[in-house]
Amino acid sequence: MKILAIGDVVGRRAIEYLSEKLRKTASSLGADLVVCNGENASEIHGLSLRDAEALLDCGVDLITLGNHAFGSRDIYGYLDDNTDCIIRPANYPAACPGVGYTTVEVSGLRILCMNLSGTAFMDPLDNPFTVADRILDRERGDYDIALLDFHAEATSEKLAMGYHLDGRVNIVFGTHTHVPTADTRVLPKGTGYVTDLGMTGPVNGILGTDAQAVLTKMRTHMPARFTVADGPIEAQGVVFTLEDTKPYRCLKVERVTF
């Protein structure tokens, strides 16, 4: 079993790039499931209905989100009605649109896919560690493989989550910071881990955003309109290879750029 996880998509041009590249890349890698964080796909702040459907048309099987999950109002109903292919962080209040985890079937195996938001330097949501525990307890016996997109700012919080879930889930990957980390590894009890997937977007900006706008904000502390950067696009992610038999421990974690 191979699972391809793609870093945060930034802007419409990045979606168009995936429409050209993703299916061929996933096929060449032998990926059985493609998971992609889409929370910045609609010009940085959120994911629109149109862009969600476009990502799925590109070959993405499951879209995860983050702190901009509700940035586009027209996605709210879609989150409620399409819980098999799009999820938002589970530690948002239950009254929010959508769900925080889902189970998809791939090659006869049930894959529990979870999405959580960090709370260090981010919104003061429910504790992601206890929410992860609750989900695993609730779904016990109803899945074969489990993975988590942990959308968090602090690398320490992400790594702590990896160790917290080591041996209990098969894959933990971080998103949000848009910078690919060099710590792909298999943790001691068999969980595949990486602190951040990186991003899919313009490589010449600052985290996919126009550099001049970011510099203006940082130098002057005056309001600045953030827009997606120009220039070439790159897709960054990780392929996780799992055992073919129970308990489906992770064997290999490999960084991918295309």
Count H helices, E strands: the chain?
Answer: 6, 13
Nearest one of 13, 6, 20 to 63, comparing CA atoms = 6
Residue with token string 């929010």: 96
Nearest one of 141, 92, 88, 79 to 112, comparing CA atoms = 141
Bridge pairing between strands 8-9 and 192-194:
unpaired
Contact of 69 with 89, CB cutoff 8 Å: yes
| HEC profile of 16-79 | HHHHHHHHHHHHHHCCCEEEEECCCCCCCCCCCHHHHHHHHHHCCCEEECCCCCCCCHHHHHHH
Can you spell out the DSSP letters for 155-199?
HHHHHHHHHHHBTTBSEEEEESS----S--EE-TTS-EEES---E
Query: 3-class DSSP state for residue 133?
Result: helix
Task: Report the catalytic residues.
Answer: 68
